[in-house]
Structure 1
Amino acid sequence: MTMNRYLPLIGRILIGLPFAMSGLGKLAAFGPTTAMIAAAGLPVPPLAYIVAVALELGGGLLLIAGYQVRTVALALAVFCIAAGVAFHSNFADQNQMIHFLKNVMMAGGLLQIAAFGAGALSLDNRLSKGGVAVANAAAR
Structure 2
Amino acid sequence: MSTTNNALILLARILLSVIFITSGFGKLADPAGTASMITGAGLPAATGLAYLAGLFELVAGLAILVGFQTKIAGWALAVFCVFTGLAFHSGTIAVPGWPEPALGWINALNGIMMMKNFTLAGAYILIATVGAGAYSIDARRGTRAPLAA
> What residue in structure 1 maps to residue 86 of structure 2?
85
Structure (1/2) with the larger helix percentage: 1
The aligned residue for residue 127 of structure 2 is 113
Give the whole-Å Cα distance in 2 for the aligned partners of 1:89 and 1:72. Answer: 24
Q: State the 1:47 CA deviation.
A: 3.3
TM-score, normalised to structure 1's length? 0.86
**SS of residue in 1 equivalent to 2:142:** helix
Alignment of 1:42 onto 2:56: no
Q: Against the structure 1 CA distance between its residues 97 and 32, is the aligned structure 2 distance closer, same or farther, given a 3 Å change threshold?
A: closer
**Two-structure CA RMSD over aligned residues (Å):** 1.5
Structure 1 residue 44: Cα displacement:
2.1
1:56 aligns with 2:46: no
Letter in 2 for 1:85: L
| Matching residue of 1:128 | 142
Amino acid at match of 2:120: M
The alpha-carbon deviation at position 127 of structure 1 amounts to 1.2
Shift of 1:2: 2.5
Contact 2:32–2:47 (CA under 8 A) maintained in structure 1:
no
Structure 2: gaps spanning 5 or more residues? 93-103, 144-149
Q: Is the 8 A contact 2:31 2:51 kept in 1?
A: no
| Correspondence for 2:67 | 66
Q: CA deviation at 1:17?
A: 1.2
Displacement, 1:38? 0.7
Which letter does structure 2 place at the counterpart of 1:73?
G
Q: TM-score of the superposition, structure 2-length normalised?
A: 0.81
Distance in 1 between the 2:50 and 2:110 partners? 21
Q: State the Cα distance separating 1:54 from its structure 2 match.
A: 2.0
**Alignment-mate amino acid for residue 111 of structure 2:** M
